[in-house]
Structure 1
Amino acid sequence: MEPAKILVVEDENIVAKDIATSLKRLGYAVPAVASSGEEAVERTVDTHPDLVLMDIVLRGKMDGVQTAQHIHDHFNIPVVYLTAYADEKTLERAKMTEPFGYILKPFEERELRSTIEMALSKSKTESKLRKSEESLTTTLKSIRDAVITTDMKGLVTFMNPVAEALTGWKQEDALGKDVTEVFNIINEKTRTPTEKPAVKALQESVVVDLENHALLIAKGETETPILFDGAAPIKDEKGNVSGSVLVFRDMTRLKEAEENLLQSEKLRALGEMVAEVGHHFNNFLAIILLNAELLEKKLKRYRAEGIKERLRIIVWTAYEGAEIVRRLQHFTQRQVSIQDFSRIDLNEIVRSAMASTSPHWKDEAEARGTTIKIKEKLGKLPLLLGSRSELMEVLTNLIFNALDAMREGGEITIRTEAKGNEVLLYFTDTGKGIPKRIKDRIFDPFFTTKDPKASGLGLSVCYGIIKRHKGKIKVDSIKGKGTTFTISIPIPLEV
């Protein structure tokens, strides 16, 4: 095994030679002797020593403490100070450089050897620990789960990139913060704060799990459904708790997949129900209509206006019922295949939808004494494959819903852009917003908050259309401020 290399930094030439001689006699290699701080840095670069013996009091621009600090910061090489005398201020500065030992002049070779061996041993141990920590940090940064660690006071000591992305906190900003401030979770169903898992893990020294209905409230107030794998105490080799670790993951995609599956099941069940019930219901309506119309014709010769008015109501109601059945059957049976799609310009569809609905958002609003503004911010888009009439129906539904939410006036903004391999459409209104308690239900068939005459199929139709276009539709809303629908449709490889 090669002997350890010791760099000697001493501005007294005779003393430096004596130290070098002693080191060689003890079996160490002395690749260089430096007499100034600047020269010590140069020799460190040239020789890569295992340890530096540094005189605290050096003449020149850099004293021993400054030189040791530079070597510590740039080369991570252990330093042992040599000193005959140093004032308190210098010693305090020396402590800040984290030296591996002190040797008082004059010294014996036995003392020199023991100090050097202890310093080298400590350096190797710290090097192994540092490599282990670097390996652990690299591993934690590479995994897909979010990881946060704390000290025993519950203050953040580490966050991996996934945790940064989900919480909205950068590690440098989160370090030293209370973990409950960074990892802020509520129950998704009750929207009440959950127990503080890290605090419980630290206080009770147990692994803490939560029910899988947690919402993570990020720094920017965005909400993300998460699966919380647990908070566990970190223990040292003696079994004492020194901190905690939290592990969790983003459940957004899984939740979307579950919701899509649930929606598909609802539509399938609805289709089966409509096929069965609609057939019988239409038969009943046909009998009612036939008899009501016959009675109406027979009563024309008599002055029975009250009875005739009642019959007209029956006829009108029966026709309304038949129309609802027709719409249901159309909704559940429509299937547009890719062969029926054609090249479409989404921006052109947006403009057409705005023009066709202008009597509602312009003329009717003015008649009520209110103002509805529509802004368009249409980016450059590639052509898509799809159904122009169906996407027109989606936009028309969104516009009508927005108008219902802005009876006192407001603003609609429609923005489009191409991003990655998809086209995005953002539809924003400044209406009253959608309460959180019903936001997850707005795409359900028959669900409506409007008057009882509304069918509740508008947004369900939108959902089905976008799904047939291999796209996604999601909603973000703040009560009292407005709602944004985001629609994404993939760009075809060939159009």
Structure 2
Amino acid sequence: MTKAKILVVEDEAIVAKDLQYRLNKFGYTVPSIASSGEEAINIAIEISPDLVLMDIKLKGSMDGIEAAQEIYKRLDIPVIYLTAYADEKTLQRAKITEPFGYLLKPFKERELQINIEITLIKHGLEKQLKVNKKWLDALLRSISDGVIASDLQELITFMNPVAENLTGWKQEEACGRNSSEVFNIVNAETHNPIESPIIKVLQDGIIVSIPAETILIAKDGAEIPIDDSAAPIKDDKDNITGAVLVFRDITERKRGVEARQKQIEQEQLVMQWEEINQLKNDFLNLVSHELRSPLSNMKMMIQMIQLTTSTEEAQRYLELMEAECDRELELINDLLDLQRLESLSYSVIRPDVLVLQQWLPWVIEPFQIRVQEHQQTLQLNLPPNLPPLFSDGISLERILIELLNNACKYTPAGGDIVLSVSHNSSEAPAKTIITISNSAEIPLIELPRIFEKFYRVPNADIWNYGGSGLGLPIIQKLVEQLQGNIQVESGNGWTTFTLTLIDL
């Protein structure tokens, strides 16, 4: 279904346009984009799309889950969630709406396309099944199938008009007779008698179908090709009280069911394969640009060196290449560090006694020359009688160096950086609080995302400092391993990171 209409519901305009571009590239049409739940419902009613790609967090009072539930209830349009939220509460709410897919951002194009194709096929099959169900219901209401009921002694108690016509027996004649006498079935090729399925149902209490190529021998000797099934009749205590036999020609329906079952099995295999490769695919998708960009720059610089005859200019390009290599190595090291920290098996903690009055000056000493070169000031505030901290010195040093490095990078010339320590023993357990403040402000709207992987504050590049967007996520994981927490505040021209630690 390459021309399926897809409604994109996304409140981030850039993300929505990117989705529209990808979907158009796949061959789908995106006639409209909605940014709120209410708008999504109205557009869906107007254009009747084949599928909805729904973000969960939307503008307005209605989120994506509520909108999806309303769209599916009103229009029976399948929904795939595209979201960055995978918490248990959100997942449980999403499950109630019975979505056809749940993709976590970011995702690969192929993954998105496969999920869309599977959803369109699956929904088409479900629609066909619903049509078939209505068709069968209509048949039963019009009594177009033969129906025979018996008691525990295999004696017929009921026949509908169709069963009368097919068997040639009237209900008045058949009632009280053995089911095998009235429902006389044989093999179509050999004409050998076939045991009535009612006997098997009453013996085993299970649903039974007759073999293929079965024909019904009517009272007048007419041979009618049939297919049937028999099921037990049970009371409210699950005791068998009889059996019911329904017979009809359902050859085409059985072919359709077999074809659909084969398609469903193929879809399940594809989905299982995608789950196995999901982590790998997500990883490659996230870092491909960051890995390629420095390499492209280095390639260009090599070409420039080959063309230039100036030794000084060649040296400059070589220095730039070295910087790009350093940036590439930093990214790879950060990725590996973050992967180890996020692994459940990685919990190597080496606690040590840290005398902060001596240890902290040693940690910040390398930054003193750097801040002087940038006409900044770095101030260390330590209270008297500060007790030692029992913690992992290697991890804590990594945290402080990363925070101080960010502070130095983003503090303007003439700005201030302040590292302060306090101790709170009024509560149990006692807490050591370390704050790093710098005279640069982060927009409040960006603070909730500050610890997200690969996220960088917009316009951060105006300071001409690159970065992978992994430093703060690594810090957060390290703090969690130290059983502490970290918070950030920004306002009045200052940004402050507050690190709260307890003795391990």
Indicate the TM-score class for this superposition, using the shorter chain for normalisation: 0.3 to 0.5
Structure 1-normalised TM-score?
0.36
Larger Rg: 1
Structure 2-normalised TM-score?
0.36
